[in-house]
């Protein structure tokens, strides 16, 4: 599997600029969102908004950015399924080959003293979790990165121009699903710990 297009949408922006620059040097087209897109452009990295795919602006003060059929079709299409690829072509949907995504810091937010319920709820990531799950489900065709520490090694593999072996893609998907599990555990623990939504946390 070789990467032609990537979607970068990260809360933790450590290393993302250098990673994106490395991707561009390899000819990879970058789509991005919100603060990630702003940071990339400020640092001279060529990138397009996901709106270039969806033709829909961010909605609800950024609550809805990537939750769109064209994004998820681009992630979930099986490259070995001629019907899937024909549908992408018919609907002008570009396949997305790599997702770099990490999530709002829910655990850190709810550990703060006197955090309000509304702040806690706003830090429950929806779109990011969905991106990670979709990419990991289709791991044979989509690489998924959830930690900045993964960026350098992935660039090294890409520079060899040999494509990603399935064993690497499987390992990335496994780590991604584990990352989501820990995230959801924190949310579940929060809801079980604070049963009265009217009280201060």
Closest residue by Cα to residue 170 from 160, 159, 178, 162: 178
Yes or no: say if 142 and 97 are a contact pair by the CB < 8 Å rule. Answer: yes
| Dist. CA 18–CA 8, nearest whole Å | 13
Give the structural domain span for 29: 5-104+126-177
What average pLDDT does this structure show over 48-73?
Answer: 88
DSSP sequence for 105-126: -HHHHHTSTT--HHHHHHTS-S
- Per the domain annotation, does 70 fall within a domain? yes
CATH number at residue 140: 3.40.50.1380
| Dist. CA 164–CA 151, nearest whole Å | 14
- Per the domain annotation, does 197 fall within a domain? no
pLDDT higher than 70, residue 200: no
Tokens coding 157: 């593999």
Give 120's contacts (C-beta < 8 A, 6+ positions apart): 106, 109, 110, 190, 201
pLDDT in tens, 74-131: 999 999 999 999 999 999 999 999 999 999 889 888 888 777 788 888 889 999 999 9
| Dist. CA 62–CA 85, nearest whole Å | 30
- Per the domain annotation, does 61 fall within a domain? yes
Does this model's pTM top 0.85?
yes
- Per the domain annotation, does 121 fall within a domain? no
pLDDT in tens, 145-199: 999 999 999 999 999 988 899 999 999 999 999 999 999 999 998 888 776 666 6
- Per the domain annotation, does 151 fall within a domain? yes
Tokens coding 26: 């390899």
Domain count, the chain: 1
- Per the domain annotation, does 188 fall within a domain? no
- Per the domain annotation, does 54 fall within a domain? yes
Q: What is the chain's percent helix, strand, coil content, to nearest 5?
A: 50, 10, 35
- Per the domain annotation, does 201 fall within a domain? no
pLDDT higher than 70, residue 31: yes
Band (60; pLDDT cuts 50, 70, 90) = confident
């Amino acid at each position: 599997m070789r990467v032609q297009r990537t979607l970068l949408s990260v809360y933790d922006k450590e290393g993302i600029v250098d990673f994106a620059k490395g991707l561009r040097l390899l000819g990879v087209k970058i789509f991005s969102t919100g603060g990630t897109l702003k940071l990339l452009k400020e640092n001279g990295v060529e990138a397009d908004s996901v709106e270039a795919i969806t033709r829909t602006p961010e909605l609800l003060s950024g609550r809805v950015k990537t939750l769109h059929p064209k994004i998820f079709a681009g992630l979930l299409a099986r490259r070995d399924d001629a019907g899937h690829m024909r549908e992408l072509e018919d609907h002008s949907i570009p396949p997305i080959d790599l997702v770099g995504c990490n999530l709002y810091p829910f655990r850190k937010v709810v550990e703060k003293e006197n955090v309000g319920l509304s702040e806690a709820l706003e830090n429950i990531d929806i779109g990011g979790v969905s991106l990670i799950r979709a990419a990991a489900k289709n791991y044979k065709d989509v690489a998924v990165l959830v930690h900045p520490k993964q960026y350098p090694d992935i660039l090294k593999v890409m520079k060899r121009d040999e494509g990603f072996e399935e064993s690497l893609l499987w390992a990335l998907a496994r780590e991604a699903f584990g990352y989501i599990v820990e995230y959801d555990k924190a949310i579940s623990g929060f809801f079980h710990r604070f049963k009265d939504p009217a009280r201060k946390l």
